[in-house]
Amino acid sequence: MAEQQPAITLEKVCKSFGPNRVLHEVSLTLPAGKIMVMLGPSGTGKSVLLRCLVGLMKPDSGRIFIEGQDITGLDERRSAGREQMFALRRKFGMLFQDGALFDDMCVGDNVAFPLRQHAKLSEREIAARVAEDLERVGLKNAQRKMPAELSGGMRKRVAFARAIALRPKIVLCDEPSSGLDPVMSATLDELILDLHRTLGMTFVVISHDTAEARKIADYVGLLYKGELQAFGLKDEVLRSNQRAINQFFERSTEGPIQVL
Ligand SMILES: Nc1ncnc2c1ncn2[C@@H]1O[C@H](COP(=O)(O)OP(=O)(O)OP(=O)(O)O)[C@@H](O)[C@H]1O
């Protein structure tokens, strides 16, 4: 059997905005079907990294491979590049920090939106997928509700249902637990684990939350000032005794990570 390509490979990815060096020679390999939690203080380039993965930003140098395909040179101004970029984006589901629901659409229509835009499915098939995914996230009775009627945790769960509706290979989650109480955060962590188990997707989770990393991660990364201070299997990274990792996991002010 052919060996499965890693979901994501980064080779010395660099990105600056003028004098602001945001990513510096970031290299990692994430095998398919694993959960990676990328930790790091605010402003250290985690969101920029996500945008580079989906082709919304281009690195200044280095290479990015998604399922073995080099996406670094894709050029949306050319029609072949546009098609490849579209195919690339279809591989990703995205859970934005604020959920980014359409406030004028009910929950069911929010989840159906990507299916209506991009899947060749009948309305009956779309309705079945929407019902299935709302049940997965524990919201099967919320279909006709409007986003304004939902709590923060419910909005995040609707956003999850929308992010997985097209059955992407890789789900990118930008701080899924931000702004949620600890119990709701734990519920979302369980949801990630459940989706991962049942649908086998690869997850990239951006987080400040070490408890979340301990609970759900197969792989952990720590980004600080644009450099990957640590990356690897969670247990190995936690055992590695690196100062930045210890500081982050022990919530200490002592260590190489300084308040920006
Ligand atoms: N389009 C842009 N133009 C200029 N600078 C940018 C742009 N996008 C991000 N930056 C800068 O890149 C740096 C990293 O930002 P990024 O949003 O990736 O941080 P982050 O680690 O995700 O932070 P947080 O945890 O607070 O969301 C910041 O200094 C930010 O100002």
pLDDT more than 90, % of the chain: 41
pLDDT attached to residue 168: 92
Tokens of 107: 């929950």
Q: How much distance in Å is there from the Cα of 164 to the middle of ligand 1?
A: 26
Name every protein residue with a CB atom under 6 angstroms from any ligand 1 atom. 17, 20, 22, 40, 42-48
| Mean pLDDT score, 186-207 | 89
- Per-chain mean pLDDT for the chain: 87
pLDDT in tens, 76-97: 777 777 787 778 888 899 887 7
Are β-strands 35-39 and 219-224 bridged in parallel, bridged antiparallel, or unpaired? parallel
Only one residue has tokens 């690339």, namely: 88
Looking at ligand 1, which residue's alpha carbon is closest to its atom 5? 17
Residue 44 C-alpha to ligand 1 middle, in angstroms? 7
- Which amino acid type is present at position 242? Q
Q: What confidence score (pLDDT) does residue 242 get? A: 80
Least confidently predicted of 25-34, 69-78, 219-228, 234-243: 69-78
The predicted pLDDT at position 137 comes to 86
| pLDDT at position 68 over 70 | yes
| All structural domains of the chain | 1-6+29-91+168-260 (3.40.50.300), 102-167 (no CATH)
DSSP labels, 124-172: HHHHHHHHHHHHHTT-TT-TT--GGGS-HHHHHHHHHHHHHTT--SEEE
Q: Give me ligand 1 centre to Cα 208, in Å.
A: 15
**For residues 163 and 133, what is the distance between their CA atoms, to the nearest angstrom?**
10
Q: In the predicted model, is pLDDT for residue 260 greater than 60? A: no
The residue whose CA is least distant from atom 20 of ligand 1 is 43
14, 21, 44, best to mutate for ligand 1 pocket (most atoms within 8 Å of CB): 44
Comparison of pLDDT for 137 and 27, the residue scoring more: 27
Whether the predicted pLDDT of 59 surpasses 80: yes
Nearest CA to ligand 1 atom 3: 17
User: Which residue's structure tokens are 């992010």?
Assistant: 163
